[in-house]
Amino acid sequence: MTYTDYVTGEPVADTKAPAGPVAERWDKRRFEAKLVNPANRRKHTVIVVGTGLAGGSAGATLAEQGYHVVQFCYQDSPRRAHSIAAQGGINAAKNYRNDGDSVHRLFYDTVKGGDFRARESNVHRLAQISVEIIDQCVAQGVPFAREYGGLLDTRSFGGVQVSRTFYARGQTGQQLLLGAYQALSRQIAAGNVEMHPRTEMLDLIVVDGRARGIVARDLITGKISTYFADAVVLASGGYGNVFYLSTNAMNSNATAIWRAHRRGAYFANPCFTQIHPTCIPRTGDHQSKLTLMSESLRNDGRIWVPKAKGDDRPPNRIPEDERDYYLERIYPSFGNLVPRDIASRAAKNVCDEGRGVGPGGQGVYLDFADAIRRMGRKAVEAKYGNLFDMYQRITDEDPYEVPMRIYPAVHYTMGGLWVDYDLQTTIPGLFAIGEANFSDHGANRLGASALMQGLADGYFVLPATINDYLARNPHQEPVTDRHPVVQEALAETEDRLNLLLSVDGDRTPDSFHREVGELLWEFCGMARTDAGLRKALERIPQIREEFWRRIKVPGTGEEFNQSLEKANRIVDYLELAELMCLDALHRAESCGGHFREESQTPDGEAARRDDEFAYAAAWEFTGTGEAPTLHKEDLVFEYVHPTQRSYA
């Protein structure tokens, strides 16, 4: 049986969201969830993997509640997780602007923005919690931008028409993360969190069907150890780095979630990746990562390309009537503020037509000349100064004088481990939060919603729902290294690393990563076709086979060995890439970030097919290269009626 001959198994259902009006479900669930007696909490150990917005806030909050938390990050400090790089802001339905915002509107915008592939119950909860997040962060001392009266400032962000985005200049992620990190630090000092930096999770330990621990490697000594707990929380982020070039940090990886998937956790909507429209174009083959420019730039910058193909005049010499402000032309009411997927695809289209600018024609202009004329250079500087500086540092061009060049890049993954309303995966006791799960953004995430979801999950949702699991499983048998399951997980991990070290081939880990990444970008990137995906699915097993024949990893496993870390992550990318392509192949509709060329409207917009595909696709692992089993979760829309998205 080949990989594409997948079978459809039993549907998967979210059994935790209560029935009844959507606005009452979260209150109802919190009331129904069992509680753990405060005196008993310290007897429970919870493992948290990752210290980004989701993991940092969850670790701190669980420890405040009295649980014993054992937490891990691969970075040298929990302060460095990649949430730190989020620039733009965080949404919250505070309606401080009195501009018609409400919890229901944020809920509505998020379901619609996600192109009707997200679960209503989860999204509504997210919108409700958004207001508490701002309160919490302000209390922690997060220095949000403020007005002269001392109150919080907000701005509008791609894809919405209200001003609900709170921000801290272009460093909102950094400031929110430091807030969570500081709360976590307080709990580390208090002895409630046992923190293991420079330690990477390499496998999940499942005993009697329940998640009971992890196998992890100390990245300094290379020592592989086991850690046991009553529940395991994965907050290890997204898997965008499978593309090699992305805006993710270099070491962000999919190993924690992929290993959990191999142990039985379903992986949902793996093909839903977000390609962000405003990134700095690549300059050559040496490129190691791509840098995002906050999409807040689209509030004042105007996107254009020359009307004529192959027009290579410098931008300032192209007269106004020979420019095509294509977003304003195609989408007059949203203009440059259309959602990310639409902006990205439009950029790809004009570049494919031969009207792209810069090296290789892979870029479009983002022009601030009008904004500078209208607001003055000073005001533009105050609003975007740090972004302009960053652009200039990387490209050596002055965006105050010459329009910026931008091009889409992989930025975020909406897919992830399937979770129910409690954020529990299909393995009891294993929870996934933040970008690591699939829950809230459907097929496309709106700007400034990732920070909101990470903190909602970590500060408020998980700490409430994990209680229920622990209360229902108060006395789990202790697990030790002698348990056969643990022995097996340890042996598998050691064997894998030893094999990587022993091949001694002639290709570096990066060369394989680049190869599979380029393949995905071409066939599972901004536009996908049946034929292209099949080609990728044919090629991936070949790359995998070659990998195990030709990989070269210097050094040993008993030392600080960054090549070994990389190679081991690529092992998982080579499987994940295959699942992404299969998911993209099976979903023969266009929705959100997933654009299938076969499924478009006459005017070239994405054509969703709700009759066939109004479900989340949750895949069950059956073996490397073996056809996985598809479990569908039907999506029911009671409050936001599915319509073809229109931003015209």
Partner 1 sequence: MKLTLRVWRQRDADAEGAMSPYEVDGISSDMSFLEMLDVLNEQLILAGEDPVAFDHDCREGICGACSLVINGDAHGPERTTTCQLHMRSFKDGDTIDIEPWRAAAFPVIKDLVVDRSAFDRIIQAGGYITAPTGAAPEAHATPVPKPDADFAFEHAECIGCGACVAACPNGAAMLFTSAKVNHLNVLPQGAPERETRVLDMVAQMDEEGFGGCTLAGECATACPKGIPLVSITSMNKEWLRATRKVAKR
Residues 6+ apart with CB under 8 A from 570: 509, 512, 513, 516, 547
Asked if 31 interacts with partner 1 (CB under 8 A), we say no
Stretch that binds partner 1, among 16-24, 393-401, 472-480, 616-624 (CB under 8 A): 393-401
Q: Interacting stretch for partner 1, rule CB under 8 A, among 183-191, 294-302, 332-340, 477-485? A: 183-191
Q: Count of residues binding partner 1 (CB under 8 A)? A: 81
Span 297-336, contacts to partner 1 by CB under 8 A: none
136 part of the interface to partner 1, by CB under 8 A: yes
- Using CB under 8 A as the binding rule, whether residue 19 contacts partner 1 is answered as no
- Which of 5, 10, 19, 286 touches partner 1 by CB under 8 A? 286
Binding status of residue 397 toward partner 1 by CB under 8 A: no
* Residue in 380, 390, 414, 536 binding partner 1, rule: CB under 8 A: 390
Strand order in the sheet with 199-207: 199-207, 210-218, 224-228
94 binds partner 1 (CB under 8 A): yes
The residue behind tokens 């409430």 is 464
User: Which of 410, 438, 339, 363 shows the shortest CA–CA distance to 645?
Assistant: 339
Q: Taking CB under 8 A as the rule, does residue 140 contact partner 1?
A: yes
| DSSP codes joined into one string, 157-170 | -TT-SS--EE-STT
In this chain, which stretch among 132-140, 364-372, 474-482, 518-526 interacts with partner 1, using CB under 8 A? 132-140
Among 10, 396, 603, 611, binds partner 1 (CB under 8 A): 396
Q: Which is nearer to partner 1, 81 or 305 (CB)?
A: 81
Residue from 340, 405, 587, 608 carrying the catalytic annotation: 340
Residue 64 lies near partner 1 (rule: CB under 8 A)? yes
Q: Name the token pair of 342.
A: 């639409």
Nearest to 144 by CA among 94, 105, 82: 94
- Check binding of 93 to partner 1 (CB under 8 A): no
Stretch that binds partner 1, among 2-10, 279-287, 327-335, 338-346 (CB under 8 A): 279-287
Tokens 């696709």 belong to residue:
617
Tell whether residue 185 is a contact of partner 1 (CB under 8 A). Answer: yes
> How far apart are CB 557 and partner 1 at their closest, in Å?
14
Question: Considering the rule CB under 8 A, would residue 42 count as an interface residue with partner 1?
Answer: no
Q: Is 289 in the site for partner 1 (CB under 8 A)?
A: yes
The single residue listed with the structure tokens 């097996």 is 488
Closest listed residue to residue 91, CA positions, set 162, 38, 34, 30:
162
Comparison of 171 and 336: residue with beta carbon closer to partner 1: 171
The CA-based angle 410-50-415, given to 5 degrees, is: 40
Contact segment (CB under 8 A) with partner 1 among 17-25, 31-39, 204-212, 282-290 equals 282-290
Using rule CB under 8 A, residue 175 touches partner 1: yes
Is the Cβ of residue 548 or residue 560 nearer to partner 1 in the bound state? 560
Residues 238-267 binding partner 1 (CB under 8 A) are: 247, 249-252
Adjacency order of strands within the sheet including 154-155: 90-91, 165-166, 154-155
Long-range contacts of 35-43 (CB under 8 A, 24+ apart): 35/467, 35/471, 36/467, 36/470, 36/471, 36/474, 38/65, 38/66, 40/474, 41/65, 41/66, 41/67, 42/66, 42/67, 42/68, 43/68
In the set 2, 8, 288, 643, which binds partner 1 (CB under 8 A)?
288
Q: Could you give the 3-state DSSP secondary structure of residue 636?
A: coil
Reply yes or no on whether 340 is catalytic: yes
CB 208 within 8 A of CB 264: no
Binding status of residue 191 toward partner 1 by CB under 8 A = no
Residues 548-607 that bind partner 1 (CB under 8 A): 552, 554-555, 559-560, 562-563
Question: Rounded to whole angstroms, how far apart are CA atoms 267 and 625?
Answer: 15
Give the nearer residue to partner 1 in terms of CB position, either 220 or 491: 220
- Does the protein bind partner 1 through residue 394 (CB under 8 A)? yes
- Token pair 């005196």 is found at 39
Place of tokens 């992929």: 258
Among 506, 538, 545, 597, binds partner 1 (CB under 8 A): 506
Q: Assess contact for 348 and 527: CB atoms under 8 A.
A: yes
Site string for partner 1, 211-240 (x = CB under 8 A): ---------x--------------------
138 lies in the site for partner 1, by CB under 8 A: yes
Q: Which DSSP string corresponds to 104-149?
A: HHHHHHHHHHTTT-S-HHHHHHHHHHHHHHHHHHHHHT----B-TT
Burial 422-458 (b: 16+ CB within 10 A, else e): bbbbbbbbbbbbbbbbbbbbbbbbbbbbbbbbbbbbb
Q: By CB under 8 A, what part of segment 409-468 binds partner 1?
A: 459-460, 463
Q: Work out whether 398 is an interface residue with partner 1 (CB under 8 A).
A: no
Mode of pairing for the β-strands spanning 404-413 and 210-218: unpaired
Tell me which residues are annotated as active site: 340
